[in-house]
């Protein structure tokens, strides 16, 4: 059974952020989908007439920068949204609203014609 970690500063079972980053990197680098994605994407931007390692480094650093910005944005939005869901009433309203939207989308799909 995998151990779940809490990344809070005052928790007794918290691990340090370096360990969390190393764990995330290990999971990401061992993901076969990522390996296939980068194996298909990067060669399209590599000029075989130029030094390849420097081109690869630029592509990798660009990807890390973009990914870090996106994940930081997701975490920030997630933190804000999780505070909004602090009351059971708001969770219930959200569940009913999204459930209604899914029922409406299903109804529209069921009545659509080609």
Q: How many domains does the chain have?
A: 1
70-95: per-residue pLDDT in tens? Answer: 989 998 998 888 888 888 999 999 99
Terminal CA-to-CA distance of the chain, rounded, Å? 48
14-28: per-residue pLDDT in tens? Answer: 667 888 888 888 888
The answer to whether position 29 is within a domain reads no
The answer to whether position 13 is within a domain reads no
The answer to whether position 84 is within a domain reads yes
Between CA 48 and CA 12 the distance in angstroms is 52
Is the pTM higher than 0.85? The answer reads: no
Instruction: Indicate the pLDDT class of residue 37, thresholds 50, 70 and 90.
Output: confident
The answer to whether position 79 is within a domain reads yes
Residue 103 is encoded by which pair of tokens? 């029922």
Between CA 66 and CA 59 the distance in angstroms is 11
Residues, the chain: 114
Give the range of the structural domain holding residue 106, as residue numbers without chain letter: 52-111
The answer to whether position 20 is within a domain reads no
The answer to whether position 97 is within a domain reads yes
């Amino acid at each position: 059974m995998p151990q779940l970690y809490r990344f809070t500063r005052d928790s007794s079972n918290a691990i340090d952020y370096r360990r969390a980053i190393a764990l995330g990197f290990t999971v990401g680098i061992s993901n076969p989908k990522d390996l296939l994605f980068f194996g298909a994407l990067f060669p399209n931007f590599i000029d075989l007439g130029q030094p390849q390692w420097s081109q690869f480094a630029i592509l990798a650093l660009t990807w890390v920068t973009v990914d870090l910005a996106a994940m930081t944005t997701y975490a920030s939005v997630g933190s804000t949204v999780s505070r909004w869901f602090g009351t059971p009433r708001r969770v219930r309203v959200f569940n009913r609203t999204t459930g209604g939207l899914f029922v409406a989308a299903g109804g529209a799909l069921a009545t659509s014609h080609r």
